[in-house]
Amino acid sequence: METMTTLAQGTTNGTGIVILVGVGLAVLVLLFVLMFFVSRYRRCPSNRVLVIWGRSGNLSARCYHGGGKFVWPVIEDYAYMSLEPLVIEIPLEGALSLNNIRVNVPSTFTVGISTEAVLMSNAAERLLGLTPLQIQEQAQDIILGQLRLVIATLSIEEINKDREKFMNLINENVTDEINKIGLSLINVNIRDITDASGYIDAIGQRAAAEAINRAKVEVAQQEREGAIGEAQALRERNVRVAEERAKAQQGQKAAEQDQRIVVAKLEAEAITGEAQSRRDQEIAIAERTAETVAASKRAERTQRIQVADAEALAVDGENTSAATVAESNAQLAEIRAEAQRRAETALAQASEAIYKAEREQELARLSKVELAPQEIEKKRIEIAAEAQAEKTRREARGEADAILAKYEAEAEGIRKVLESKGEGYQRIIEACAGNPQIAPTLLLIEQMPKLVAEQVKAIQNLKIDKITVWDSGRSGESKDTSGSRGATAGFLSGLIGSLPQVHELAEQAGIELPGVLGKVVDSQDGQSRPAADAATRDAAKPEPGKASPKSAPKDS
CA proximity to 269, closest of 361, 345, 343: 361
Which of 85-99, 147-161, 254-268 is predicted least confidently? 254-268
As a whole number of angstroms, the distance between CA 421 and CA 481 comes to 55
* Cα 82 to Cα 89: distance, rounded to the nearest angstrom: 20
In angstroms, the Cα distances linking 288 to 58, 292, 376 are 87, 6, 12
CA atoms 62, 68, 74, 78: torsion sign: positive
Mean pLDDT lowest among 38-42, 95-99, 112-116, 459-463 = 459-463
For residue 31, give Cα distances in angstroms to 27, 34, 35, 40: 6, 5, 6, 14
Number of Cβ within a 10 Å radius of residue 98: 14
Q: What ranges do the domains of the chain cover? A: 42-78, 84-197, 203-400, 419-447, 496-541
Instruction: Kindly report, residue by residue over 295-309, the tens digit of the pLDDT.
Output: 777 777 777 776 666
CA distance 12 to 97: 98
* Alpha-carbon torsion, ordered 116, 118, 124, 130, to 10 deg: -70
CATH number attached to the domain at 84-197: 3.30.479.30
What's residue 12's pLDDT? 63
Strand partners, 53: 77
- Write the CA distances from 312 to 35, 217, 327, integer angstroms: 91, 10, 22
Residue 143's identity, in one-letter code, is I
Strands 68-70 and 41-43: antiparallel
Write the CB contacts of 95 (distance below 8 Å, at least 6 apart in sequence): 102, 103, 104, 105, 147, 148, 151, 152
Q: Is the pLDDT of residue 537 over 70?
A: no
Q: What is the pLDDT of residues 11-41, one digit of tens each?
A: 566 677 878 888 888 888 888 777 777 777 7
| Window from 9-18, 221-230, 394-403, 516-525 with minimum mean pLDDT | 516-525
Per-residue pLDDT of 313-359, as tens digits, reads 666 667 777 777 778 788 888 888 887 888 788 777 766 767 777 77
Q: How far apart are CA 548 and CA 540, in angstroms?
A: 7
CB-neighbour burial class of residue 83 (10 A; exposed 0-12, middle 13-18, buried 19+): middle
pTM of full prediction above 0.75: no
Q: Do 86 and 135 meet the contact criterion of CB atoms below 8 Å apart?
A: yes
Nearest to 90 by CA among 111, 118, 121: 111
- Which residues are paired to 189 by β-bridges? 108
CB 76 within 8 A of CB 52: yes
Q: At what angle do helices 531-540 and 499-509 cross, to 10 degrees?
A: 150
Note the pLDDT of residue 305: 74
Going through 57-208 in order, the beta strands assigned E by DSSP cover 62-64, 68-70, 77-82, 86-96, 102-113, 183-190, 194-195
Q: Which helix (H) or strand (E) holds 295?
A: helix 263-308
DSSP character at residue 129: T
The dihedrals phi and psi of 441, each to the nearest 5 degrees, come to: -65, -45
DSSP letter (8 states) at residue 408: H
Helices (H), 460-523: 487-497, 499-509
3-state SS assignment for residue 86: strand
Q: How many whole angstroms separate alpha carbon 541 and alpha carbon 551?
A: 13
Q: What is the mean pLDDT of residues 514-518?
A: 68
Q: Which residues contact 148 (CB under 8 A, 6 or more apart)?
A: 92, 95, 96
Q: Is 124 a residue whose pLDDT tops 60? A: yes
How would you classify the pairing of strands 68-70 and 102-113?
unpaired
List CB contacts of 435: < 8 A, sequence separation 6 or more. Answer: 514
- Cβ pair 359, 265 in contact under 8 A: no
Residue 535 has what pLDDT? 43
Residues 6+ apart with CB under 8 A from 118: none
Question: Which pLDDT belongs to residue 526?
Answer: 52
Greatest alpha-carbon pair distance for the chain in Å reads: 234
The three state secondary structure string of 93-120 is EEEECCCCCEEEEEEEEEEEECCCHHHH
Compute the average pLDDT of residues 72-89.
84
Q: What is the pLDDT of residue 413?
A: 87
Mean pLDDT value of segment 90-98: 86
Residue 97 pLDDT > 80, yes or no?
A: yes
